[in-house]
Structure 1
Amino acid sequence: MSLKNVLTTAAAILVLSSAAATAQTPTRIKQFDAWGSYSYSSSGGKVCYILSTPTAMLPSSVDHGDIFFLISQKPGQGVSYEPQVVMGYKMQEGSKVTVDVDGKKYTLFTRGESAWMENAAEEPQLVDSLRKGQAMKVDAKSQRGTATQYTYSLAGVTAALASINNCK
C-alpha cells in the first residue's frame, strides 16, 4: 500500500475512532513528503490536523497495527497544535510514551491506544522541535508489556503545519 493510501486510510480511521459521531469524512488538504494535512467538520467546529506513519517499527517480530503521529488544530475548542500518538494496540495502563526529537525528550500520558503530552505547556516546544528536527523516535509499552519503538521522518512537517495554520 502506498504512503498516500496509508495516510488516507489513517485519516479515516482517526475520524471514526475519535468518538465524534457527528464528524464527517476528512478532506485531504495536501501531502508534504512524509506528512499529510487533513480537515473535517465536527459538532465542535472545524478540525485540522497533520499526520504521519512510522518509517520503522521495532520489534519487527510483533504485529503493531496502524500507528500514527498527529498534530491537531481545533479552533472552535481553543486547541492549537496538540500532538497525539495513536497506536494499533492498547498501551500498558499507567505507562508513559517518550517522544525523542534529536535527543530532546518529551513525556506523554497514555489512555487506551492514544497518548498526549503530559505537560500541555510543552506542546509548543515539541512542535518547534519537530519543525527544526531531523528525526523523531517514539517509545511505548503495549498492554502485554512489549517495549516498542517507532521512527518517523520529519520531512515535510513544517510545510504540513503551515497548511493548517489558518484552520477556521
Structure 2
Amino acid sequence: MFQGSKITKSILAAGVLAATTAVASAQTPNRIGQFNDWSAISYQGANGKICYAVSVPTSNAPASVNHGDNFFVVTQRRGSNVSYEPQFIAGYTLKESSKVTVNIDGKDFSFFSKANTAWTENAAEDPAIVAAMRAGSKMNIKATSRRGTNTSYEYSLSGITAALKAIEDCK
C-alpha cells in the first residue's frame, strides 16, 4: 500500500503530466481514489477532463544514482479521443532516440523516448499493454539516461484494475 509520500508523489504526477502534455490551463489535480499501489487522478484540461491511473516504482536500480521522481501513467482523455494511453515519465532526461523496455510478467513492450517521457512505439499495442497490466502482478521498466546510465524500475500492478475502472468514465 502507498506510504504518505507515495500518495503525494501520485498527486504531484498530475501536475508533472499537465506540464508534459502541454496543457496550459491545468487546474489543481483531484484524487479520485487510492487503489493499493495505484492512484486515480483527474483534472480539468483545456479540452475537457483528463484522468490518470498513476503509480510510482516499488524499487529502482542502480541504487547509487539519483533517479528523481518516476511514474507510470495510463491516461484517459475522452475529449481528445485518447483511451488508456500508457506512458513512462522519468525523473531525468532519457537518452535521445533510446528505447525503453516495459516488461509485464515476462512479456516485453517497446516504448520510444523523448526528453523524460516514453510512449508505445505502436499505439495499436496500447490495449494489449493495458490488458497485460490488468492480468499481471508486476511490471519492470528498463531505460537509459542521457548520461548513458542503464536504469531499471519495478512497479506493483496491485490496484491497477480498480484504478482503471475509476477513470473509465472520465468526462
TM range (shorter): over 0.9
For residues 1-168 of structure 1, what are the structure 2 equivalents within 5 Å? 2-168=5-171
Q: TM-score, normalised by structure 2?
A: 0.95
Provide the aligned C-alpha RMSD in A.
Answer: 1.0
Find the aligned partners of 2:143 and 2:6 in 1 and give their Cα distance: 23
TM-score (norm 1): 0.96
Contact in 2 for aligned 1:85/1:115 (Cα 8 Å): yes
Is the CA contact 1:15–1:25 (under 8 Å) kept in the aligned structure 2? Answer: no
Q: Distance in 1 between matches of 2:26 and 2:6?
A: 24
Q: CA–CA distance in 2 between the matches of 1:5 and 1:115? A: 22
Between the two proteins, what is the percent identity of the paired residues? 49
Show CA shifts across 1:121-157 (max 9, x none).
0000000000000110000000011000000000000
Counterpart-to-counterpart distance in 1, 2:24 and 2:107: 37
> Which stretches in structure 1 are left out of the alignment for 5+ residues?
none
Residues 88-108 of structure 1 deviation map (CA, whole Å, 9 limit, x = unaligned): 111111100000000111000
Contiguous gaps of at least 5 residues in structure 2: none
Distance, in Å, in 2 between the alignment partners of 1:113 and 1:93 is 10
Contact (CA 8 Å) 2:11, 2:41: kept in 1 or not? no
User: For residue 153 of structure 1, what is the amino acid of its counterpart?
Assistant: S
Mapped partners of 2:101, 2:116: distance in 1: 15
